[in-house]
Amino acid sequence: MIAVHVRVSGRVQGVFYRAFTKDLAKELGVKGWVRNIPGGGVEAVLEGERQKVGELLRHMKSGPAGSMVLGMEFSELECKNYEDFTIEY
């Protein structure tokens, strides 16, 4: 089990990027959260099996239709055992 903090830059607000991430996370069994950040980016904490988190990161790099991911930064965190995946506001 791993946990990763991710910051995504590009056109990722106003294009359903958070909902896209939440739906995929739930499908893959990844827990954590996603939210918009000032300046137009998105950040998320992803927690789950290494393979599933990696798969979600690959999808996040592509993003939903209408998005344009220009960069992703991530770092490993200590697991907190989230119970679900949520959109934070």
Task: Evaluate whether 66 touches 15 at the Cβ level (below 8 Å).
Answer: yes
Residue 18 annotated among the catalytic residues of the structure: yes
Catalytic residue among 7, 11, 18, 50: 18
Q: Which parts of 2-79 fold into alpha helices (H)?
A: 17-28, 50-62
Tokens of 13: 């607000």
Q: Could you tell me which of 6, 10, 12 has the C-alpha nearest to residue 47?
A: 6
36 is catalytic: yes
CA distance 73 to 13: 17
Name the catalytic one among 36, 50, 58, 81.
36
Catalytic site positions? 18, 36
